[in-house]
Amino acid sequence: MAKSQRAWKLALLCLLALLAWLWASDSTPVLNLSTLQQQRAELLDWHAQSPWAVRASFFALYLVCAALSLPGVAVLTLAAGALLGFGWGLVLVSFASSLGATLSFLLARYALRDLVHARMGPRVVAMQARLTREGAIYLLSLRLIPLVPFGLINLAMGLTSMRTRTFYVVSQVGMLASTALFVQAGTQLAAIQSSADVLTPRVGAALAALGVVFALLPWASSRVLQGWRKRRVLAPWRSQRPRRFDRNLVVIGAGAGGLVSAYIAAAAQAKVTLVEARTLGGDCLNLGCVPSKALIQSAQVAHQVRNAAQFGVLSTPPQIDFIAVMRRVNEVIARIAPHDSVQRYTDLGVQVLQGHATLVNPWTVEVRGADGALQRITTRSVVIAAGAQPIVPDLPGLQDVGFATSDTLWEQLAQCSTLPRRIVVLGGGPVGCELAQAFARLGAAVTLVESAPQVLEREDDAVCALVQQALTADGVVVKTAHRALRCAWEGADPAREKTVLLEHAGQQHTLAFDLLVCAVGRKARLSGYGLEALGLAVDHTVQTNDYLQTVFPNIYAAGDVAGPYQFTHTAAHQAWYATVNALFGDIRRTRVDYRAIPSATFVEPQVARVGLNEKQALRQGVAYEISRYDLADLDRALCNGGAGAAPPTGFVQVLTVPGKDRILGVTIVAPQGAELLAEWVLAMGKGLGVSAILGAVHSYPTLSEANKYAAGVWRRQHTPAVLLRWARRFHSWRRG
């Protein structure tokens, strides 16, 4: 690899030397079109005397400009038609542009890899993902759009896995149409001698053709490729396509994504069927967000009572009635359930079917009811919103000792008269941290086991440290860099107990527990829906494009099955795009917008984030500046603290583009941090900068002032020193 890189660097130097020689030569055409027009007679005379020398020089110049992505290539394409005519101009430009693009592709791959990756890392990742899904057709679609900078395509593609031969062939074919139109326009522009010549029909036609290229070719090529992909994918199933459809849309799964999808379709007056095998509302209502937050609130109250003396309120230590705690959790679910009920959606015009859905073909869904009865529904489009399920680690003995996941925890807890005394939580992600802190605040002895060096490993190190400190303060024993090896029963009755064997730094020790909670992650629920039989990849998530289409143009996915996020609000966000595209995509499609997706971990203090954090920015090679404000200085945070308590912990940290106020990301660690984040989510979604936050009026005293003060930190970092010196002189002069 080192030898090949040196060879390509030498080739790059040779190309630069050739470019310098060509520019220095008196007889070489230059990139300025007006200069070419002024010297046209001389150039044509040179061409008449030495046609092959002109063609070779032009080819070499164009090749170098295309390889180095220099500006003015479009002018050279017009010049080809003006100097060489349509035939030779098209041949030379077509091959020179494709070969130059391939040289640029190879330079990026072998000689400039680090530089290109530093500048275009996220774009390369996105291109590789599209190539994985669509293959060479993706490059062809880019080549058919003249407005896309070809130089950027060449460089970014060099860092993907595309083969060089494939890149060259697709580039040769894809750029041919726009090249021909530009060369033809050049032949007509060469005839312009005065302003009157612009009004001739031939020149007008050439200019109109260029307008068509820029205005219609991207749209037309997109439609043609879209139609070609559709026909190719659906060809094996075409004989099964019904002539008429029962429904406009069938939605599989009635969690957050499925409910939003059905709601939107019904509001758009489409005939929609919603299929759910379990309870409407999905995991969030019944097994995840709602019950966990209800439990966290009870734990928060217990924590406040336990620390009431810090606020001058005398009370006895809290007595936990765990049966009442779980009764309240179930009451909260019951109060919210009508929002997601069968009756509500039936009243909206949605056909709700209780049963398990299977895709028979791209247009037919088979629903098996609880009684075993089968019903087949034909539909123009399908939205898969089947959600996710917990990952169960492959631990020897786990099934023998018993365990809980987010799917089974609440049922197990409902059967307990008291909270289990010793609880082990496997997994230090958001779910594991939330449950560990809540159980500890309710009085259990909790041990949190995480194989990574820190909890919440996706967050910045400062965030991880604060969360671990908060967990420890609430009594959670945090064991990071610990790996669970196996589970077993140990001892003899009546002292027989469940244990898990842990390994850390080469040492092993046993930990006893009464309840083991597995919170090591979730995976998309993909099996059993007929996706494999249709040929859809089901390894991790369903592969979708920017419009949330699967490889089948009428089948869409939203929520956990589509990824890349596993948030309830993201599932609802994706469902809007999937549904609108499913219903109206033949007329107009809309790309899903991930610019401002918030996340929140509901420990205390809460961890909330939107956009990039430092870890992500460094990994992606994104340049950034940091503006951070600590809550220890915030008036409202000081008001909320107890007597003798430590200063408030937490902060608002903003990442911005260096020298600008454009927001790259925000991380908040604070009480009610998820609520504070909404202001930044709005700003990023609407393209507002840090200055907009600073200019907004915030009530006093509130926690939201932390956002304003963080924006103020950015302002102080970017106050021009020269302006301050002149202001000081101005005020000194005013004083006399």
**Whole-number percent of the chain with pLDDT over 70:** 86
Instruction: Share the mean pLDDT of the chain.
Output: 86
Instruction: Name the more confident of 478 and 169.
Output: 478
Instruction: Name the more confident of 667 and 736.
Output: 667
Q: What is the per-residue pLDDT for 690?
A: 96
- Of 515, 534, 567, the position where a domain reaches its end is 515
What is the H or E stretch that residue 709 is in?
Answer: helix 705-717
Within a domain: residue 206? yes
**What are the backbone angles phi and psi of residue 139, rounded to the nearest 5°?**
-60, -40
Here the CATH number for the domain that contains residue 705 is 3.30.390.30
Looking at the structure, do residues 191 and 331 belong to the same domain, yes or no?
A: no
Looking at the structure, do residues 580 and 605 belong to the same domain, yes or no?
A: no
Looking at the structure, do residues 87 and 136 belong to the same domain, yes or no?
A: yes
Q: Which residue reads 């098996």 in tokens? A: 368
- Of 560, 584, 608, the position where a domain reaches its end is 584
Q: How many helices (H) and strands (E) does the chain have?
A: 29, 20
Looking at the structure, do residues 219 and 276 belong to the same domain, yes or no?
A: no
Instruction: Name the more confident of 456 and 621.
Output: 456
Q: What is the per-residue pLDDT for 183?
A: 81
Looking at the structure, do residues 195 and 304 belong to the same domain, yes or no?
A: no
Within a domain: residue 727? no
Within a domain: residue 135? yes
Whether 261 has a pLDDT exceeding 60, the answer reads yes
pLDDT in tens, 518-535: 999 999 998 889 988 888
Distance CA 467, CA 214 (A): 53
Looking at the structure, do residues 325 and 355 belong to the same domain, yes or no?
A: yes
pLDDT-wise least confident of 38-42, 85-89, 419-423: 38-42
Looking at the structure, do residues 327 and 357 belong to the same domain, yes or no?
A: yes
Within a domain: residue 329? yes
pLDDT in tens, 427-461: 999 999 999 999 999 999 999 999 999 999 999 99
Instruction: Name the more confident of 659 and 160.
Output: 659
Looking at the structure, do residues 281 and 430 belong to the same domain, yes or no?
A: no
Q: What is the per-residue pLDDT for 31?
A: 45
Looking at the structure, do residues 40 and 145 belong to the same domain, yes or no?
A: yes
Q: What is the per-residue pLDDT for 21?
A: 46
Q: Judge contact between 637 and 626, C-beta under 8 A.
A: no
Model confidence at 12, in pLDDT bands (50, 70, 90)? very low
What string of DSSP letters covers 396-463? TTHHHH--B-TTTHHHHHHT-SS--SEEEEE--SHHHHHHHHHHHHTT-EEEEEESSSSSSTTS-HHH
Looking at the structure, do residues 439 and 510 belong to the same domain, yes or no?
A: yes
Model confidence at 9, in pLDDT bands (50, 70, 90)? very low
pLDDT in tens, 213-239: 555 555 666 666 667 667 777 888 888
Task: Identify the burial level of 506 via C-beta atoms within 10 angstroms of its C-beta, where 0-12 means exposed, 13-18 middle and 19 or more buried.
Answer: exposed
Cβ neighbours of residue 61 under 8 Å, at least 6 residues apart? 19, 22, 28, 29, 76
- Of 554, 584, 614, the position where a domain reaches its end is 584
pLDDT-wise least confident of 210-219, 479-488, 657-666, 693-702: 210-219
Whether 11 has a pLDDT exceeding 70, the answer reads no
Q: What is the per-residue pLDDT for 358?
A: 95
pLDDT-wise least confident of 175-189, 367-381, 588-602, 683-697: 175-189
Q: Judge contact between 388 and 284, C-beta under 8 A.
A: no
Within a domain: residue 136? yes
Within a domain: residue 726? no
Domain with 277, as residue range(s), is: 247-389+523-584
Whether 584 has a pLDDT exceeding 60, the answer reads yes
Distance CA 356, CA 717 (A): 58
Looking at the structure, do residues 220 and 263 belong to the same domain, yes or no?
A: no
Q: What is the per-residue pLDDT for 468?
A: 97
Give the mean pLDDT of 230-255.
90
> Which pTM does this prediction carry?
0.79
Whether 196 has a pLDDT exceeding 60, the answer reads no
What is the H or E stretch that residue 480 is in?
Answer: strand 477-480
Whether 718 has a pLDDT exceeding 60, the answer reads yes
Burial 83-104 (b: 16+ CB within 10 A, else e): bbeeebbbbbbbebbbbbbbbb
Here the CATH number for the domain that contains residue 533 is 3.50.50.60
Q: What is the per-residue pLDDT for 205?
A: 59
Give the mean pLDDT of 569-586.
95
Whether 604 has a pLDDT exceeding 80, the answer reads yes
Look at the chain and report how many structural domains it folds into.
4
Looking at the structure, do residues 256 and 109 belong to the same domain, yes or no?
A: no
Whether 283 has a pLDDT exceeding 60, the answer reads yes
Which among 99, 94, 120 is positioned nearest to 108, based on CA atoms?
120
End-to-end CA separation in angstroms for the chain: 71
Select, from the ranges 35-39, 194-198, 230-234, 690-694, the one with the highest average predicted confidence (pLDDT): 690-694
pLDDT in tens, 314-358: 888 899 999 999 999 999 999 999 999 999 999 999 999 999 999
Q: What is the per-residue pLDDT for 128?
A: 75
**Whole-number percent of the chain with pLDDT over 90:** 56
Whether 466 has a pLDDT exceeding 50, the answer reads yes
Q: What is the per-residue pLDDT for 15?
A: 44
Within a domain: residue 277? yes
The SS3 of residue 507 is strand
Whether 71 has a pLDDT exceeding 70, the answer reads no
Within a domain: residue 233? no
What string of DSSP letters covers 539-576? SSS----TTSB-SSTTEEE-GGGT-S---HHHHHHHHH
